[in-house]
Structures are given as structure tokens and as C-alpha cells.
Amino acid sequence: MMIFLILAPYGAFTALMLVTSAAVSLFTAAAICLMAIAHDILHGRSIKMLGAGSALLFAALGCYITLADAGWSSSVVKLTVDCGVFAISLASLAMRQPFTLQYARQVVDAETARLPGFLKANYIITWAWTAAFMLMLIANILMIYVPGLPLWSGIAIAFAARNTAVYFTKWYPEYQRAKFASSTVSASAL
């Protein structure tokens, strides 16, 4: 459920870009980000870097396109959004606060959050998402600069990158738990 809420603004943006203007798509995505932020605040949770950064990105780009330059193609708008999300992810790593850490702390107990492997796992998961964002960025670059590529190829790359990151996000913590449990059993046998 949480991954759905995290990805909802991007899914809405992508779907709306197929049927309406860039400004409507961007402002709708910003509104969804703000609703997710409001949901977190109402439930006593922290404001997430990815959600807040994305809300600012969508709103700022929407304002720019509405007020300054409405001539941007949908490909350039998508590329700009991908660059922004990629930058947010890299910034979270540079600030030593991987963006997945805020979400992960919501779903684990305090003891688990204090484990040294917990932070390392979140760095690895954030790097996986950063790689997925980069692949989506590359797909958009290819769609702009290799116009002969069919539309489905860019969509397939983005879909595969996103789904791989989602799968990895679910799989890796389970893998780490199993690894930790087996090492604990081995250590207690000594």
C-alpha cells in the first residue's frame, strides 16, 4: 500500500500526459503529492524528502510552463521531471539521508531501525531506485534524440526499471532478515 501512495503522483503524471496538457498533469501530480504529505501529517508521520521534493518539482515546473513557456513538448516535460526525481534521489544520498529511510522507519520497530544493517539496506535500496530513475531518464533521452524508436520502447524501459525497483524494495529487506536470522542461529550454536 505504501509503495502505491509513493508512486501515485508519478503514475498520475504519466497517465495524464497521454491525455491532457502538461500543466494539468503537473499540477495534478503536485496535488497528489500534497495529499500524501497531508496524510502523513494527519497520522503523525514526518514529511518525506521525496514527496516534498516532488511536490515542489511538479508545482514549479507547472508554474513555469503555465506562466513562462507553454511550448515545451511532452518529452521535454517528462525528461525534466525525471531529472528532478533523479536529483532528489542523489541529493538524499549526498546528505546521508537516503530517501527510503524515512519510509522504512514507519514500518519497522525501533529496535530494527537501530540495527547497523538497517541504514546500509536503505542506502542499497535508495541506490536501486536511483538506478531506476536513471534508466527512466535514459529512456526519455532516447525518445527525444532517437525519434525512430517506437513509443512502447520508452514505456517498456520505464516500466521495467520501476517494477524492478519495486520488487527489489520488497525483496531486499526480506533477504537481509533471512541472512541476519541465519547468522544469529549460527552464532548461538557456537
Q: Which three cell numbers stand for residue 182?
A: 541465519
Task: Return the pLDDT at 97.
Answer: 93
Q: What is the mean pLDDT of each run of 10 residues along the chain (190 residues)?
A: 80 91 96 94 92 96 94 89 96 95 89 86 96 93 87 86 93 85 57
The parent domain of residue 7 ranges over: 2-189
pLDDT of residue 120: 92
- DSSP string for 106-159: HHS-HHHHTSHHHHHHHHHHHHHHHHHHHHHHHHHHHHHH-TTS-HHHHHHHHH
pTM metric for this prediction: 0.87
SS3 category, 47: coil
Q: Are 13 and 56 in contact (CB under 8 A)?
A: no
In angstroms, what CA-CA distances link 92 with 32, 109, 122? Answer: 21, 23, 11
Residues found in the chain: 190
Domain count, the chain: 1
d(CA 181, CA 120): 17
pLDDT of residue 115: 82
Of residues 124, 109, 173, the one with CA closest to residue 181:
173
